[in-house]
């Protein structure tokens, strides 16, 4: 991770196919295309890969989450349960629809704590949205049982976990809806892009229309298409889809390399008795894009993160103090800071996160370090990296 590290002739060929037609938009201009429909081709390939009946390509992972929620009828005042550890896009997509993000704790999976989810459910709750951060998944079986009991939708944010599986199913396909991101730093990239997957025909049709200004896409005259409901512009371009097609075709190669390097590093870290690893739910297989581990205390984690950087071990993240990925620095959400007036429902229903107790999340995230697995490394470089990590962590522990 990410796929841009290994751009090659496959990506160039797909992009050139588009440039030779001169048609960069995914809809219309049929006569100029010379048979090239890259967004449709990407959707078809992803349908097969994700073992899903329907796929709608969109302009980003954030767009995918927004479109997925809208396709299921989520709107003003509806509550969506999401984790305290994720990317800001999770709550941005919810707020974009006037819905209300309800943050709940994570556990040692670094994803949604099912017990915390159960406690957060109210009469306004409509969706549970686990986020499969850093390549591994939530306890989807437990979350599905909760959703079934309370008649809630399960929406998987699998933007960081393409290629992982749970109970033999691709991540994103276990719930009612699944979302992916193909931005520049994801396991496979299209530069900018995202996708919604579902087995529900109604949700798919809604996503198809909503992501293109409400166009119903009936017939071949775009100007004559009807608009059964309001929509917005979340379209992917043909150029972005072209890159995505090539990258999807290389996904298995990327995953194999990530798993190989992940296992080398994990084997080394396992020799440090004080280090423990994030929990992976039974039946889950990571996509191995990150290796996430816990130090015994917050102080040791902070010291270890600094020491790893000083030792030249790059691409390691201490999320507890991260501006983008952990609730502690989401001041714009806590303070309801917006360029325009927020919907009444959001103003009245959004919890006061400045007083919320997320100590259960802090317990895990404050001790966690996550290290990216890069595709551009060689196996020899990874062996050296693992040795440096072990040496550095042992030094931090001895000197603490």
In SS3 terms, the chain reads as: CCHHHHCCHHHHHHHHHHHHHCCCCCCCCHHHCCCCCHHHHHHHHHHHHCCCCEEEEECCHHHHHHHHHHHCCCCCCCEEEEECECCCHHHHHHHCCCCEEEEECECCCCCECHHHHHHHCCCCEEEECCECHHHCCCCHHHHHHHHHHHCCEEEEECCCCCCCEECCEECCCCCCEEEEECECCCCCCCECCEEEEECCHHHHHHHHHHCECCCCCCCCCHHHCCCCCCCCECCCCHHHHHHHHHHHHCHHHHHHHHHHHHHHHHHHHCCCCCCEECCCCCCEECCCCEEEEECCCHHHHHHHHHHHHHCCCCCEECHHHCCCCEHHHCHHHHCCCCCCCCCHHHHHHCCCCCCCCCHHHHHHHCCEEEEECCCCCCHHHHHHHHHHHHHHHHHHHHCC
Lowest mean pLDDT among 53-57, 219-223, 309-313, 373-377: 219-223
Is there a single domain that holds both residue 373 and residue 234?
A: no
Is there a single domain that holds both residue 242 and residue 267?
A: no
Is there a single domain that holds both residue 31 and residue 176?
A: yes
Q: Which of 38, 126, 144, 186 is catalytic?
A: 186
Domain termination site, one of 234, 250, 266 = 250
Token pair of 34 as six digits: 């010379």
Euclidean distance between CA atoms 69 and 207, whole angstroms: 9
12 is catalytic: no
Closest CA to 291 of 307, 275, 277: 277
User: What value does the mean pLDDT take over residues 156-162?
Assistant: 98
> Which CATH number fits the domain that encloses residue 73?
3.40.640.10
Band (pLDDT 50/70/90 cuts) for residue 267 is very high
Is there a single domain that holds both residue 110 and residue 227?
A: yes
Given this model, what pLDDT does residue 28 score? 95
| Cβ(113)–Cβ(139) below 8 Å | no
> Which CATH number fits the domain that encloses residue 287?
3.90.1150.10
Number of Cβ within 10 Å of residue 205's Cβ equals 16
Is there a single domain that holds both residue 216 and residue 114?
A: yes
Domain termination site, one of 208, 223, 250 = 250
Given this model, what pLDDT does residue 200 score? 98
Is there a single domain that holds both residue 235 and residue 263?
A: no
Token pair of 190 as six digits: 């299209």
Band (pLDDT 50/70/90 cuts) for residue 77 is very high
Overall number of domains in the chain? 2
User: What value does the mean pLDDT take over residues 161-170?
Assistant: 98
Closest CA to 211 of 63, 355, 323, 8: 63
Is there a single domain that holds both residue 276 and residue 212?
A: no
Is there a single domain that holds both residue 300 and residue 217?
A: no
Given this model, what pLDDT does residue 400 score? 83
Domain termination site, one of 233, 250, 267 = 250
Given this model, what pLDDT does residue 285 score? 98
Residue 45, Cβ density class (10 Å: 0-12 exposed, 13-18 middle, ≥19 buried): middle
User: What value does the mean pLDDT take over residues 348-370?
Assistant: 98
Is there a single domain that holds both residue 265 and residue 321?
A: yes
Q: What is the average pLDDT score of the chain?
A: 97
- What are the pLDDT digits (tens) for 79-134? 999 999 999 999 999 999 999 999 999 999 999 999 999 999 999 999 999 999 99
User: What value does the mean pLDDT take over residues 284-299?
Assistant: 98
Strand order in the sheet with 165-166: 169-170, 165-166, 284-285
Quote the domain boundaries for residue 337.
Answer: 252-398
Is there a single domain that holds both residue 243 and residue 258?
A: no
Is there a single domain that holds both residue 332 and residue 386?
A: yes
Is there a single domain that holds both residue 34 and residue 108?
A: yes
- What are the pLDDT digits (tens) for 1-48? 889 999 999 999 999 999 999 999 999 999 999 999 999 999 999 999
Token pair of 347 as six digits: 């103003």
Euclidean distance between CA atoms 93 and 333, whole angstroms: 12
């Amino acid at each position: 991770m990410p796929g841009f590290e290994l751009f090659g002739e496959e990506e160039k060929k797909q992009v050139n196919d588009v440039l030779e037609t001169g048609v960069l938009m995914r809809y219309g201009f049929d006569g100029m295309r010379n048979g090239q429909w890259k967004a449709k081709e990407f959707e078809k390939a992803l349908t097969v890969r994700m073992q899903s009946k329907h796929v709608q390509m969109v302009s980003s992972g954030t767009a995918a989450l927004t479109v997925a929620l809208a396709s299921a009828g989520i709107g003003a005042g509806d509550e969506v349960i999401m984790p305290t550890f994720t990317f800001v896009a999770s709550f941005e997509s919810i707020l974009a629809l006037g819905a209300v993000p309800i943050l709940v704790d994570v556990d040692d999976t670094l994803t949604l704590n099912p017990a915390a989810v159960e406690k957060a459910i109210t009469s306004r709750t409509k969706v549970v949205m686990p986020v499969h951060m850093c390549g591994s998944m939530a306890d989807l079986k437990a979350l599905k049982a909760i959703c079934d009991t309370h008649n809630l939708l399960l929406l998987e944010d699998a933007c960081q976990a393409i290629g992982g599986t749970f109970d033999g199913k691709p991540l994103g396909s276990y719930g009612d809806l699944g979302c992916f991101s193909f931005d520049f730093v994801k396991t496979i990239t299209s530069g900018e892009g995202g996708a919604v997957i579902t087995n529900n025909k109604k949700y798919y049709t809604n996503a198809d229309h909503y992501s293109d200004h409400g166009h119903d896409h009936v017939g071949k005259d775009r100007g004559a298409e009807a608009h059964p409901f309001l929509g917005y512009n979340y379209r992917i371009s043909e150029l972005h889809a072209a890159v995505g097609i090539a990258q999807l075709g290389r996904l298995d190669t990327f995953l194999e390399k990530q798993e190989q390097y992940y296992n080398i590093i994990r084997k080394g870290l396992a020799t440090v008795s004080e280090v423990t690893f994030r929990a992976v739910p039974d039946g889950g297989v990571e996509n191995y894009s990150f290796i996430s581990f816990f130090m015994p205390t917050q102080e040791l984690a902070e010291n270890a993160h600094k020491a790893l950087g000083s030792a030249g071990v790059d691409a390691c993240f201490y999320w507890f103090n991260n501006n983008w990925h952990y609730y502690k620095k989401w001041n714009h959400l806590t303070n309801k800071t917006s360029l325009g007036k927020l919907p009444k429902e959001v103003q009245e229903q959004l919890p006061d996160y400045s007083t919320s107790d997320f100590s259960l999340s802090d317990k895990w995230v404050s001790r966690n370090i996550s290290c990216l697995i890069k595709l551009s490394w060689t196996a020899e470089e990874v062996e050296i990296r693992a040795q440096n990590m072990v040496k550095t962590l042992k030094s931090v522990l001895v000197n603490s």
